[in-house]
Structure 1
Amino acid sequence: MTARRAGGPTMHDVGRLAQVSAMTVSRVLKNAPGVSEATREKVFAAVEELGYRRNQTARSLRLGGSGMIGLVVTNLANPFYSRLALGVQEVATEYGFRMLLSNSAEQADREPGLIDGLIDHQVEGLIVVPAGSRQQHLAAAMRHVPVVLAARPPAGLDTDCVLVEDFHGAREATACLLADGHSRIAFLGNPPALYTGAERLRGFWAAHEEVGIEPDHTLIRQGLTDSAAAERATLELLGQADRPTALFCTNNRISQGAIRALYKSGASLPVAGFDDFDLSDVLGLPLTLVSYDADEIGRQAARLLIDRLEHDDEAPPASRRVTVPTRVVRYGAPSTDDADRSRRV
């Protein structure tokens, strides 16, 4: 019998005992076509004899690899990125990887150094939420390890990515406010250079066009990077003589800043926004939130990365784009007074 290593048998151990390659072992365990029945029987016999566990697949495929993958997010204080990281970790653990986490703090100029540091620590692959639209440093990283992007698409890169239905979610949430009778909806958005900011504005605009209403440019605020900026922008909008009758916010931090401004001003306007958040269902405000599984973004990104690692000695698969669906969740009743006012405008 082949001796087991201290950390348990690897896919290479199974392959040696079955007299096949590690890639053939991987194909058998994934029930891939093109493997003879005799080979399958040898592999399963070796798995049984060694007590091999499937969750060591990805780590075993890279002989001498570190068993680590790197994750770079833009703001770990944002619950969205915490959930995404948990999704990555869940799949990484399943396949025998450890995860190294770095936070760019939304500083695009900081991101290349974080990427280089993770590569210096010999990670076998990277999952990155880009902090900006310039991604040349990621192209350089791809010469060393596979890279998968999350939440934002590649710009000039041929690589996998996992996105949210940003346009669709924003359009559906805005459509709910319009259906309630609101025609003066303020838009509170993150920087327009970000993919999410641009796509969610596009969805906001499309919902208006579908009902023949043009958004009021004086009610659009972009470039909001945190809840404090969103609070200030909302208070300024509420101070206008012809203030908005509803608000659309492009992420949870902006929604929270807007809600704080409403509380301070004593106003009760309906709020629509991306990202569900804790206690949203008990605030007593009319909320329309775009909800989705942030953990699933991380899980999907990890699966794409590990799939590339499993095909390391083959021609790489074509780049793939996975989209995580959204759904609209409504809390509280629409404000009929504000809806009546919007109809009179």
Structure 2
Amino acid sequence: MTETSDSQRCVPCSFDRGPPDRWAAVLRLCPKGFLVPARVTLRDVARVAAVSAKTVSRVVNQDEHVTPSTRARVQRAIADLGFQPNLVARSLRVGRADVIGLVVESLADPFFARLTSAVEQEAHERGLAVMVSSVGHVPERESVIVQSLLVRQVAGLIVTPMSQSHAYLAGTQQRTPVVFVDRLPEDITSDAVLVDDLAAGEAATRHLLDHGHRRIGFLGSELRNPTTRLRLAGYRRALAERGIPDDGSLVAVGAGSAQQAREAAEKLLSGPRPPTAIFSSNMRCSLGLVPLLHGSGRTDVAVVSFDDFPMADSLEPAVTVIDHDPELIGRAAADRLFRRLEDLDAPAETVVVPVRLVPRGSGELRPPGPSGGRDSGADGRRPPASPAERDMRPAPRQEAADGARRSGRGRRP
């Protein structure tokens, strides 16, 4: 009879605890007639522990939403079977490369550069490589790039959506899971990791309102961009809360570059009733607006910028920003993809990453006038800090995805 190698050493039938059919799926006969563990999978552990594969995954990933008795049962099955949690071995199907694809808008953008670095780090820790491609502000390139990655049999995809429709991915997600980042996809339901853009627009506008401003401008990119629409909706909601009419002459959208943002800001400020404050809804717009204000001596105009940018904290006044953590977003997106690889049948999930307002000076300027704005006290002092100014710091690295707020829906309402 053929002898087994040391790596396949026979084990006496001490595994036979309970009815034989309970172990039939996870044991095999070696050439000497002993029962030995087969290649144990997560589903085998689930079968032995009499729980779902999702529950085993939660125990392995130290999810707190598991009862102590269930956790103990799963841990016993893991120990009995000698199961070694190995994400790559569990999640990569036969024929798939040990590579994930990452499609971003532009690697020249510091936000996407930092996000990419975080995704690469998370993948590296799991023994995976990342194939990165940039759409380059050309929405039509997205589907071409994604299809080229699918042809290369990547294990999964993380995509910053720019296309007007993602119906081209409708039939692929059961084979190659996709996580969208920064924006929701169009026409399909999928996992996504988003910044809370609506809350960002509200926080920036409320902050300016709290400092006495009533004529607040909005500077943004194209309305086809869902992040612009959500930040504009937050801006309008904050105004409505204070009973301030929505003045369309204060809204300038469509800026696709810093130069276009500069031109739009010039038009806002040259009007008969210019704004005393401006919410710049992305870094590109801020890179057009802030140099314009400093170059023309208009540093009396209050500014809150969504997203930090180089030298923002070195100007006088330094620029108040709505800050978000690209590394946290990248880690959360990678975590969501790896969890999806473990359970292709789970409902789509949206992870919403919080933002925080960082006051530095430009957002705390008061409007011109003897009273410093309608909300000023008689002594001209600044009102108490708004809730938006509270520091909502990101979760620690090891709990990045769990620290983000989660929703069981594939789309934000």
Question: What TM-score results when the alignment is normalised by the length of structure 1?
Answer: 0.85
Tell me whether 16-25 or 225-234 shows the greater mean CA deviation: 16-25
Match of 1:294 in 2: 326
After TM superposition, the structure 1 = structure 2 runs for residues 31-42 of structure 1, keeping only pairs within 5 Å, are: 33=70, 39-42=77-80
After TM superposition, the structure 1 = structure 2 runs for residues 187-198 of structure 1, keeping only pairs within 5 Å, are: 187-198=218-229
Match of 1:6 in 2: none
User: What is the Cα deviation at residue 293 of structure 1?
Assistant: 1.3
Counterpart code for 2:324 = Y
After TM superposition, the structure 1 = structure 2 runs for residues 222-241 of structure 1, keeping only pairs within 5 Å, are: 222-241=253-272
Q: Distance in 2 between matches of 1:226 and 1:89?
A: 28
User: What is the Cα deviation at residue 303 of structure 1?
Assistant: 1.0
Match of 1:2 in 2: 7
Is contact 2:100-2:131 (8 Å) kept? yes
After TM superposition, the structure 1 = structure 2 runs for residues 1-345 of structure 1, keeping only pairs within 5 Å, are: 1-2=6-7, 18-23=37-42, 24=44, 27=57, 29-30=60-61, 33=70, 39-44=77-82, 56-58=86-88, 61-62=91-92, 63-142=94-173, 144-268=175-299, 269-285=301-317, 287-312=319-344, 316-332=345-361, 334-338=364-368, 343=373
Which runs of 5 or more residues in structure 1 are unaligned?
4-14, 48-53
Is contact 2:213-2:367 (8 Å) kept? no
Is contact 2:302-2:366 (8 Å) kept? no
Q: Distance in 2 between matches of 1:18 and 1:279?
A: 60
User: What is the Cα deviation at residue 29 of structure 1?
Assistant: 4.2
Is contact 1:58-1:310 (8 Å) kept? no
Q: Distance in 1 between matches of 2:369 and 2:151?
A: 57
Partner SS state of residue 130, structure 1: coil
Q: Which has the higher helix share?
A: 1
Q: Distance in 2 between matches of 1:96 and 1:224?
A: 41
Is contact 2:165-2:185 (8 Å) kept? no
Q: CA RMSD in A?
A: 2.6
User: What is the Cα deviation at residue 189 of structure 1?
Assistant: 0.7
Compared CA separation, residues 30 and 42, structure 1 to 2 (3 A): farther
Is contact 2:135-2:141 (8 Å) kept? yes
Is contact 1:280-1:331 (8 Å) kept? no
User: Which structure would you say has the larger RCO, counting Cα contacts within 8 Å and 6 or more residues apart?
Assistant: 1
Question: What TM-score results when the alignment is normalised by the length of structure 2?
Answer: 0.71
Tell me whether 56-65 or 150-159 shows the greater mean CA deviation: 56-65
Is contact 1:128-1:147 (8 Å) kept? yes
Deviations 1:14-39 (A, max 9, x none): x9974353224775744684755553
Tell me whether 150-159 or 267-276 shows the greater mean CA deviation: 150-159
Counterpart code for 1:40 = I
Compared CA separation, residues 38 and 278, structure 1 to 2 (3 A): same
Is contact 1:249-1:255 (8 Å) kept? yes
Deviations 1:95-130 (A, max 9, x none): 211111111112221111001111122111111111
User: What is the Cα deviation at residue 339 of structure 1?
Assistant: 6.5
Is contact 1:185-1:215 (8 Å) kept? no
Tell me whether 134-143 or 262-271 shows the greater mean CA deviation: 134-143
Deviations 1:45-92 (A, max 9, x none): x75xxxxxx6x5235532443111111111222111112212211221
Is contact 2:142-2:163 (8 Å) kept? no
User: What is the Cα deviation at residue 138 of structure 1?
Assistant: 2.5
Deviations 1:136-191 (A, max 9, x none): 12224425411111111133312111111101111011111111111111110111
User: What is the Cα deviation at residue 328 of structure 1?
Assistant: 0.8
Counterpart code for 2:347 = A
Partner SS state of residue 331, structure 1: coil
User: What is the Cα deviation at residue 340 of structure 1?
Assistant: 5.5
Counterpart code for 2:40 = S
Tell me whether 280-289 or 210-219 shows the greater mean CA deviation: 280-289
Which entry has the higher C-alpha Rg, 1 or 2?
2
Q: Distance in 2 between matches of 1:58 and 1:277?
A: 37
Partner SS state of residue 222, structure 2: coil
Is contact 2:312-2:318 (8 Å) kept? no
Q: Distance in 1 between matches of 2:81 and 2:277?
A: 62
Q: Distance in 2 between matches of 1:236 and 1:30?
A: 53
Aligned length: 323
Q: Distance in 2 between matches of 1:182 and 1:324?
A: 28
Match of 2:48 in 1: none
Q: Distance in 2 between matches of 1:286 and 1:178?
A: 19
Q: Distance in 2 between matches of 1:134 and 1:36?
A: 42
Compared CA separation, residues 108 and 41, structure 1 to 2 (3 A): same
Is contact 1:163-1:322 (8 Å) kept? yes
Counterpart code for 2:348 = S
